[in-house]
Every structure is written in structure tokens, then in C-alpha cells.
Structure 1
Amino acid sequence: MPELATERLVLRGWREEDLEPLMVIYADPEVMRFIGDGSVRTREQTAAGFALMRREWEERGYGMFAVEVREIGELAGWAGLTIPHFLPEVLPAVEIGWRLGRPFWGRGIATEAARAALRFGFEEAGLDRIVSICHVDQHASARVMTKLGMRQERETVVPAHGQPVRVLAITRDEFEAA
């Protein structure tokens, strides 16, 4: 798995010791408020998601990077690419997403990590178009998407739980022109 470096971050592969801090992130109701049905994840659910994030790299050659803050060597969360199976109407598509622990909010870390993952998606993974999906009330993520140069394509509802979401997208050409 590749490792990406930005000014403040290292986007890297997952390590066993990342599971515990990931559990803390997924157990925070404020972090999970706009994710899925808004519920926190159990230890077992987090472990299953952790295993899936590791497996996606092997299966697709892209996935979610662990995001580590260089200065403190601490896991902030993740950012990267996946298939948004939860929203079949946008398929086929690859989605960029991110999730950070609350101590790392409001510091530009999501934008910095997502920009590096987006560049990886276009330049290394050879993708032509990438979408991002967020709850319509998740304004912080929507701002990150806008900073990345993404444009809104539609608003819709996630079939599994009825949450309203907006879908933004960017093409390789749009990314290169920005």
C-alpha cells in the first residue's frame, strides 16, 4: 500500500495498533451523527470495518488511508476511496470520504488528507471521476468538498435508512484544471 505525505500528515496503511483509536472515533456520537443512521459503532462493527478497509486495498488497489498527524504521530482518522454501495443510484462510482476524531476537527486536516487522496485517485489509481456523498446537514464535509473543487450533482435519499444526502463530483480534467 502506498504512503502519501503532506505538509502535516502521513496517509498510510493500517496497523493493528490503529484499531483502538478507530474504536474511540466510531464510539463518539458527535462524529457519527451524520453517518448512516447516526448510530455509534460497537467494537465488533468497528473491527469488521477495519478489516474491510484493509481488504479493499488488496482487492482494488485503492481504499481508505489511515491519517496520521506527523507532529504527534497520532491517528486522526481516515481518508480515501471506496465504492458507495449504500447509494446504488450513483453506481458505478468511486467515492472519496473521510472521518476524523473530534480533536482534529476545524484544523484543515480533512481537506489536506482528502486532497492527497483525490490526487492519488486520479494520478495513481487512474480514475476519471470521483464522487463524494454527505448528509444534507453535514455542512463541514460539504465545505471540504467545495474546497476540493467538487460540484453538486444531486440531492437524494439513502435507501437503507432514508437519510437525505447530497452528491458532489469532480472529474480528472476538472481536478487538473483547478
Structure 2
Amino acid sequence: MEPILELESARLRMRQWQDGDLPAFAAMCADPQVMRYFPAPLTRLESASMIGRVRGHFAEHGYGLWALERKDTGQFIGFTGLGVVGFDAPFTPAVEIGWRLAKEHWGLGYASEAAWTALRCGFDRVALNEVVSFTSQANLPSQKVMQAIGMHHAEADDFDHPRLDDGHPLRRHVLYRISREQWLQTLQG
């Protein structure tokens, strides 16, 4: 599959990562508030490594986590996209949708707008049959984005994240799903 290098929504450009994104990305991933639903903030090196993995995912699968840029300012504000789930769980193999935005861009609808655009790409261009999303039970803001883009909580599929130790406060995760058919119904009405 030829990589899908760029998408657009009304206010956002979803593009490939540039070397100049690293300072803003590293600052975002080092912010304890942004990373409160993850095991720990990331160092600059860990953030750079993540960008490398994202680029590799695009090369292998043709899609991935796009860097988000505001059209009005050209400012990097985070990422949104699709990724092959990288661990074994009852719902895998699967493709997940995810996002992370710098806190000064929260509450403006950017996460939902970009996620909707990525979801449309997943069903229209990548021809996926289903997309999942998951987060810790405590992460209500991300669950609201999942609901806003038409995903449904698959409560019977909630799980303990295998990369987090027993007793870790973020270990229990909720799973949301949306099928191509559900997405098409959302478009119709």
C-alpha cells in the first residue's frame, strides 16, 4: 500500500513528521498533565524514539500516527492516527485509533475532528472492517472523544493492559469499537 502521507480536516492538516516537530513533541510528552493516563512522561530521547517507530509504521503499513498542525497558525499541536495494536489481547489483532494533544489545545474539538478524519481514512482508504480504541478507565476525556466519533464501549472486552504490572492504577482499560457498518450508519444520520 502506498503510504497515506497527509489528510486534512476543516481546521487541521494531518501530515508526516518533520525533524522540527521534536522540540514541541518532546515538551508535550514531558508534561505530567498530558501524560497523566500513561505510566510516565517521556524523555526527549523516548519521544524521538517514538517518532522513529511512527515513521516505521507508515513504511510498513501505509498509515500511522499523523502529526497534527493547525491550518491557521501552522503550529504543531500533537498527533492522531491509526496503528496496529502492538501487544496480545483478546481483541487482537486489531487497528486502534489514538491521539495526544498539547494541553493548550484541549477543549477546542481538535481531537474529535482529527480522530473523525483518521477514522474516515481507515474505512475509506485503508478498507478496515473495524477500528478499536482503548484507554485507562480513569481517562474520561479520551472516552468522550471515542463516543463523539461514534465508537461504542465494548464493556465485555475491557481488559488489564499487559504492559502494566498487577496493581498499577492505570492497568484496567476500557475498549471501544466501531465497525465499518456502524460508521456508515453514523454518516447517514
Using the size of structure 2 for normalisation, the TM-score is: 0.90
Instruction: Give runs of aligned pairs for residues 66-145 of structure 1, distance below 5 A.
Output: 66-86=67-87, 88-145=89-146
Q: Who is 2:7 aligned against?
A: 4
* Matched length: 176
Q: Once the 2 structures are TM-superposed, how far is the Cα of residue 73 of structure 1 from its aligned partner? A: 0.7
Q: Once the 2 structures are TM-superposed, how far is the Cα of residue 53 of structure 1 from its aligned partner? A: 0.6
Secondary structure class of the residue paired with 1:32: coil
Identity across matched positions, percent? 35
Q: Once the 2 structures are TM-superposed, how far is the Cα of residue 109 of structure 1 from its aligned partner? A: 0.3
Q: Who is 1:61 aligned against?
A: 62
Give the Cα separation in 1 of the matches to 2:23 and 2:159: 34
Q: Who is 1:174 aligned against?
A: 182
Q: Who is 1:28 aligned against?
A: 31
Give the Cα separation in 2 of the matches to 1:73 and 1:10: 9
Q: Once the 2 structures are TM-superposed, how far is the Cα of residue 160 of structure 1 from its aligned partner? A: 1.9
Secondary structure class of the residue paired with 1:78: strand
Give the Cα separation in 2 of the matches to 1:87 and 1:168: 17
Q: Structure 2 regions of 5+ residues with no counterpart? A: 166-170
Secondary structure class of the residue paired with 2:100: strand
Structure of higher CA gyration radius = 2
Q: Once the 2 structures are TM-superposed, how far is the Cα of residue 156 of structure 1 from its aligned partner? A: 1.5
Name which of 158, 161, 169 aligns with 1:158. 161
Q: What residue identity is the alignment partner of 1:172? A: R
Secondary structure class of the residue paired with 2:34: helix
Secondary structure class of the residue paired with 1:89: coil
Q: Structure 1 regions of 5+ residues with no counterpart? A: none
Give the Cα separation in 2 of the matches to 1:177 and 1:50: 35
Task: After superposing the two structures, state which structure 1 stretch, 47-56 or 86-95, moved more.
Answer: 86-95
